[in-house]
Structure 1
């Protein structure tokens, strides 16, 4: 039995905890809830013993709050453990915790803002966490329905082809556990510069690329027991295609692969998963190769 690591919300809302416990119950996973507490105590004119006492009081208060929350949300049959951690760097702690491969996913509520000088923990986890990361949306469409898997059918990269299968495998398992349908979306992105220079005709390019995807669609359909009608191919920028299709089918979850960029390149360009996360009003499960 694998585990799901839930990063508890610090606000009164508890979207991550609620969604994480629901998935754990349906997937048959154990749950570890971790709540982070940290504040600088240097400004207080206290002795070392007094600082330690103050720190312990904050930890105890957070533990009491979390125990009350879990008592309302916990379902029968789910094994739930709770950790209260004094830690400023949430991302580094989570990365260390899941590094051994025993966790099926990390679940965290979304904080969807970013600037060049500040990288929220959502983005850092998407780029660096070794386990799949589920970013839970606090505000969603009403009456959400299928699970939507975003894949790259035009790739010839072995790593990306393998990532396609990881995405479909995860999406299929979650869809089955949630009694939801499964749909797959692939974007055909026409190179804008070549189109602007009249070096290719966009409609013809897209049509030929779609035709070249047929063998891979047939292979994936046979491997995962899917119908060709489950695959949707649309022309346009990847992030916009995924978000528009998710909105059209009112997806309750989008599962996609992400290859994390780092440093200035990541901050200036962003990843597709991050662009999707900024636009989407539903949960996003990001999987690294």
Structure 2
């Protein structure tokens, strides 16, 4: 289980509702963690104004930052939290960079951010800043939807067994451990989900002795056994193991929607440079099609 000692929640102080903040307070109390309220702000008109000197611009920015911090401190004082809170504000043209910088500088190991949402029939509305936060953050990110978590809800964990390298193996362990902890905290039903690729039928034509159905059954059985072994190692006896044929980007969202899951936990191997800007990896494809909170464990 991740040791969340300091949790940063990205907030917009003047909103009436704060789903991400409510979730952050709950987790900070459970993990006995310091809650850091962070805000990344920017005003283009101030930066671009030809009538404002550099010194005056700095003064205006400082005044805005101070005002933002005062509002956040008032908000923090109203929270029902067992631990301490801190409020920090930064000025950054790129919102996601500002949030990540705040989290790193404050030595946080979890970022919580609200994401907007459409109706059930439509995918989450992720802005470019949301995607960049998920791509570039070196620490775990919890994206919070505007839905309530109820007792005995459902948590879906996307378990990957394809990676043979140590990094992927460790990431799978971390994903499983974190979902177990959250299921305990929320008294939730836990589901481990995995997918297998169907054997190509054309091989049966080339080799008459090859039976793709039997191969698929053996692969399916092995995946179930591997996930059961993972659960046994965690001393987990009440997890629902689901293994289905298909691509993760289609199977996992379908299961989340069928179960009306409250949370999806999945892993994402960190990327840097130009690779971090590439679209279409499995984690992003899944996230774009679900309607629940999403915890991304960074590997």
Fold shared by both chains (TM-score > 0.5): yes
Residue 157 and residue 261 in structure 1: after superposition, are their counterparts in 2 closer, same or farther (change >3 A)?
same
Structure 2 counterpart of 1:106: 111
- Give 5+ residue unaligned stretches, structure 1: none
Deviation of 1:98 (Å):
4.5
134, 137, 140: which one aligns with 1:126 = 134
Deviation of 1:89 (Å):
2.8
Deviation of 1:159 (Å):
2.5
Q: In the aligned structure 2, how far is the partner of 1:246 from the partner of 1:37? A: 34
Deviation of 1:154 (Å):
4.5
Residue 257 and residue 9 in structure 1: after superposition, are their counterparts in 2 closer, same or farther (change >3 A)?
same
Instruction: Tell whether 2:277 aligns with 1:274.
Output: no
Instruction: Tell whether 2:7 aligns with 1:4.
Output: yes
Structure 2 counterpart of 1:29: 33
Deviation of 1:228 (Å):
7.3
Q: In the aligned structure 2, how far is the partner of 1:8 from the partner of 1:93? A: 12
Instruction: Tell whether 2:151 aligns with 1:152.
Output: no
Task: State the aligned residue count.
Answer: 282
Report which stretch shifted further, 249-258 or 59-68.
59-68
Q: In the aligned structure 1, how far is the partner of 2:106 from the partner of 2:231? A: 28
Structure 2 counterpart of 1:66: 72
Instruction: Tell whether 2:251 aligns with 1:247.
Output: no
Taking the TM superposition and a 5 Å limit, the aligned residue runs for 1:193-204 are 194-195=200-201, 203-204=213-214
Instruction: Tell whether 2:86 aligns with 1:81.
Output: yes
Structure 2 counterpart of 1:180: 188
Instruction: Tell whether 2:227 aligns with 1:217.
Output: yes
Residue 146 and residue 139 in structure 1: after superposition, are their counterparts in 2 closer, same or farther (change >3 A)?
closer
Residue 177 and residue 222 in structure 1: after superposition, are their counterparts in 2 closer, same or farther (change >3 A)?
same
- Checking the alignment, whether the CA contact within 8 Å between 2:157 and 2:179 is kept in structure 1 is yes
Instruction: Tell whether 2:36 aligns with 1:17.
Output: no
Residue 206 and residue 123 in structure 1: after superposition, are their counterparts in 2 closer, same or farther (change >3 A)?
farther
Residue 47 and residue 126 in structure 1: after superposition, are their counterparts in 2 closer, same or farther (change >3 A)?
closer
Deviation of 1:11 (Å):
6.7
Instruction: Tell whether 2:53 aligns with 1:47.
Output: yes
The TM-score, its normalising length taken from structure 1, stands at 0.83
- Give 5+ residue unaligned stretches, structure 2: 117-123
Structure 1 counterpart of 2:173: 165
Report which stretch shifted further, 244-253 or 6-15.
6-15
Secondary structure, aligned partner of 1:103: coil
Q: In the aligned structure 1, how far is the partner of 2:254 from the partner of 2:278? A: 23
The TM-score, its normalising length taken from structure 2, stands at 0.80
Deviation of 1:91 (Å):
3.1
- Checking the alignment, whether the CA contact within 8 Å between 1:141 and 1:281 is kept in structure 2 is no
Secondary structure, aligned partner of 2:227: helix
Root-mean-square deviation over aligned CA pairs: 3.1
- Checking the alignment, whether the CA contact within 8 Å between 2:40 and 2:90 is kept in structure 1 is yes
- Checking the alignment, whether the CA contact within 8 Å between 1:27 and 1:177 is kept in structure 2 is no
